[in-house]
Structures are given as C-alpha cells and as structure tokens.
Amino acid sequence: MDLEQLTGLTVYPRSMVEVDGTAYFLAQSDGGGKRLGVLGDATGFEGTRYDQRGALLCPLTPTNAAALRACLPWLRPVPLGLRTSAGFGDRLGLATPGHVRAVRQFSSIAPIFAQQSVRENARTGRTPQQVLDDATWGLFQEGWRDPWGADADHLKTPANVDAFVTAGYTLYTVDPGDHVDNDAHTALSAEVEAKVQALPWGALEDTAQDMERRYLGRPFDLGETALTFDREVLWRAAAKYGHAIAHTVRMYRHLAGRMGDQAFELEVSVDETETPTSPAEHLFIASELRRLGVRWVSLAPRFVGRFEKGVDYIGDLETFAAEFTQHVAVARALGPYKLSLHSGSDKFSIYPIVARLAKGLAHLKTAGTSYLEALRAVAQVTPALFREILAFARERYDTDRATYHVSAQLTNIPAPDTLSDADLPGLLEQFDARQVLHVTFGSVLDRFGDRLLATLRRHEEVYYALLEAHFQRHLAAFAEEQCPGGEMSVYELFAVEGK
C-alpha cells in the first residue's frame, strides 16, 4: 500500500514497520508537523482516522509515545552494562535522528539517546517524560532497533529521582558534588581532623578507627601498580568525600526502593568539584561505596586538567594519561566499571588516550554540543536569527556562566554586525564564542525558542547532517576499542537484576 498516497503526507521510510499485522509509520505534513500513522489494530492510540479503511493519524503525544513503546519493544530503553557507551544530551528534542545516524557507523558503541540533567530540564522547561518521548520519536523516525539507554543525569536529591523513574529511565547518575568538602584538599591538619570527627559515622556505618584499620599499613594491589595510604592521605580523602559517600548511599537506597524489580544502572559522579580526584581518593570512594552495598556501572571522577564546556581539554596530555592509567587500574580492580567523561563534548585531544587506556571501560557524556550544532545550522540557513541570538548571548553571558566551568572572554568575540553571513558558521569553531553560546542556552530558548525550533524543523536535514558529522569525530576513537569480553561483573549483574 502506498502510504503517502493514502495519507497525503511524506512518510519517513525508515520508520515503516509491521508487527502482528499492524503497520506503524511516521509522516510529515507540508507544514512541518509530524504524525504517527497506525494501520490496523490501533488500540491504545489517540488520533483521527484518515478514512474508513485508512490509517489512524496520531499527534506525537505522551499517550501515543507510550502506546508505541508498548507495541514496539525496541523503543524502550534498557540497561547497557559494561559496553563502551556514549550519551547524547538533546536540549531541543530534535537531535536524536542525527545522533542515530552517527552511532549507526560504530556498532561497538552502546548509545544513550535520552539524557538530560535536572538543571538542563529546569532551563529548557522540559520534563523527564518529554525528553524520553522526544528520543522515542527520533528513534522511530530513523528505524533504530538496537538496545539503547536513558540517563537521568546529575541527580542531587531523592526528590529529583521520582519523575525519571515514572518516565522509565534506565541509568541514574547520582551527583553528590554539593557534599564534597573541597577545603579538605588544602586545610591544615587540625582542620582535617575536625572534619573527619564530624562525619556522619552512623550513616557511614563506620568509625574512624575501623576506617584506619581497613586502609593503613596495607598496599592495594591494582595489577601493575599498587596504592598505599598514609594517615594524612586517608584522612583528607575521608574529610573531602565522606559526606558525599553518605549522600550517594542515601540516593542509591531511595532509587532501589523506587525501582523495585525494574532493571536499572547507577552512575556516580564527583566531577563537578573544584579539585581533582586523585587515584587514591577514587579508590577510597569506590571501596566505601562497595562496602556499603552500592552497585554501579560507571563512575566519573574529577580528572586532572580542565573540562570546560564546549571546548577541547585544557591541560597537559602526558599528565592526564599518567593519572588516567591509575584511574583505570582502580576501576578494574574494584569493579570492573566504566570511567565516565563528563563535560565530555569536544575533548578530541584526549579521546584516543581514554580509548587506548580504558580498553572499552569508558562512557562519554555529551550535551551542549548538540545545541551548538543547532546554532551552526541556524547560522547557515537563517543568518539574521543567528545574529540576534549571538548578540543576546553576549548580554547574558556574565549572568548565565555562574554555574559552569568556563573561561571565555567577551572581548574575544567579534560583534555580530562586523561579520558577513558567510563568516557566521565559523564562530562555532571559536573557543570564546562556543562557550558563550553554550552556557546561555536557557536564556536564548526563553527569548528565541519558538523561532529556533521552527527554523530547525524546516531545515531538519541540515541539522541532522551537521550532527552526524560532528559525532563521527566524537565516536571514532572509542569504536576502535572493544569492551573486554567475558562474564558480567558483579556491578553489571546487580544493575541488570535491579538490585
């Protein structure tokens, strides 16, 4: 049957699928609106029958997204285990087809197509359900059939968890960064002593004396290397991360209680802190979480160097490689689990290092870089709108940068009216412009959201092509390394069983 002739709409060919005698497809009208088509048993779907014999045409609503996931099980996210993985944040809800086209070329990489933090949702005005549904429609449009994940990113409180559980997410990233005591890194010994004595020992199910007995006077074998703790290193690690560990345990137990028998995975993130996580501190965090019954699939330390938003790694590559080697050793010895690169977008100089050393135990997390590619598309097809966005972003930068690690200087960005239309896309390659545009996304969406989304919908193939090329660069190095084969780790096993 010719669906386009039947409906008068343009059908996305990769979306067409038939299951148990019912056909499903995604179509677009001349005005740019998209509709789900159901030809056959349309129980559970809400829409308008085209004619007595034709397809039910359905708006892209949460109800219809849930009904489609019930009929097409590959559209439901699942735990991904220890496979090399990459997360694709999508602040606009339009990027998934471009992400899919990039990932299709790297079969060894497990994708997380729905990924959004609580902070990003607050700034975009989207809900966890909307993020998951937008990914669903993008996957359906592109005909994706392989396993994929959904990441509830940077969860800071138990109250943050529930909406993501209801929506059906499978990876939960707990961020205890607000509970990390950065002052312990350089505090005087007496101050460190006081901080340790004040730790919530009841919540940690521990005492300072028992902690010392576990760590002091013994080497921790990490394969080709070993780590040892003297009293100062141990107490500074405890003072710095003790409250964060207790908070992570509370979050994990709340999450496990909410998930019940549903399969899920946990990521632990201590990356958004002022000071790097040393390999010894990483070992301390992992050992304590393991002692307290927490099971996780990936962990994000605060690596040495600077992981600023939207730009390449800033720091000495040899120093990074030397420390990352030790972090990998800890992750293998106490897991294995994956090491997660947060603020991982555009860190092209370290991708080969991470891929070579991690040997598959890596997760790359990206977010704002897809938004920047949207702005690149706008600069190409509607230069006047991009000029307005750039001028406004320059005004908002000093305010909006407050919660981000960035160092862009407005004086390094040319004024919009000094550039030709042909020069505008090139700003997306300039350090300062990238960061200014990156961190002002919430304000820009408040002011220009409707116009921005309408432009991208009219020129969606331009946007998809830019995303595909951009993420090919991100994923190429990781695709060369396969995850070590064999049995599940204890962490993966517990995650898959939902324990």
Q: Which of 149, 155, 157 is nearest to 297 (CA)?
A: 149
Same-domain status, 90 and 63: no
Please state the length of the chain: 499
Confidence (pLDDT) at 1: 55
For 21: left if phi > 0, alpha if psi spans -120 to 50, otherwise beta; the answer is: left
Does one domain contain both 207 and 132?
Answer: yes
pLDDT of amino acid 53: 63
The residue out of 22, 38, 71 marking a domain boundary is 71
Q: Are residues 363 and 468 in the same domain?
A: no
Is-catalytic flag, 153? yes
**pLDDT on residue 204:** 98
Residue 493 confidence (pLDDT) = 38
* 49, 71, 93 - which closes a domain: 71
Mean pLDDT, contiguous 10-residue spans, the chain (499 residues): 75 97 92 89 93 83 98 98 98 98 97 96 95 98 98 97 97 97 96 98 98 96 94 98 98 98 97 94 98 98 96 98 98 97 97 97 97 98 98 96 92 93 97 97 97 97 98 94 43 38
> Are residues 357 and 228 part of one domain?
yes
| Cis bond upstream, residue 336 (ω within 30) | yes
Helix axes 460-479, 351-358, angle to 10 degrees: 50
Q: Domain check: are 221 and 343 in the same one?
A: yes
My answer on whether 202 and 330 are in the same domain is yes
Query: Are 306 and 432 in the same domain?
Result: no
Select from 71, 95, 122 the last residue of a domain: 71
Q: How far apart are CA 328 and CA 341, in angstroms?
A: 12
Structure tokens at 5: 């002739």
- Count: domains in the chain: 3
Distance CA 62, CA 271 (A): 33
Domain check: are 339 and 429 in the same one?
A: no
Q: Are residues 340 and 403 located together in one domain of the fold?
A: no
Helix axes 368-381, 96-103, angle to 10 degrees: 110
| CATH number of the domain within which 332 lies | 3.20.20.70
Q: Distance from CA of residue 405 to its chain's centroid?
A: 17
Examine the domain organization and report whether 254 and 397 are in the same domain: no
In the residue annotation, 267 being an active-site residue is answered as yes
Active-site option among 142, 151, 153, 323: 153
* Residue among 267, 373, 460, 468 flagged as catalytic: 267
Instruction: Say which residues have a Cβ less than 8 Å from residue 32's Cβ, sequence separation at least 6.
Output: 454, 457, 458
345: which 2 tokens? 């977008």
- Please tell me the pTM assigned to this model: 0.94
Q: What is the pLDDT of residue 320?
A: 98
pLDDT at 455: 97
Return the pLDDT at 52.
Answer: 62
Does residue 439 sit in the same domain as residue 485? no
**pLDDT value at residue 75:** 98
Please give the residue range of the domain that contains residue 401: 373-473
One domain for residues 466 and 486: no
Q: Give which of 471, 472, 479, 478 is closest to 369, Cα–Cα.
A: 471
Contact partners, residue 495, CB within 8 Å, separation at least 6: 79, 81, 263, 264, 265, 266, 295, 296, 297
Nearest alpha-carbon partner for 15 in 85, 70, 74? 74
How far is Cα 16 from Cα 85, in angstroms, rounded to an integer?
Answer: 27
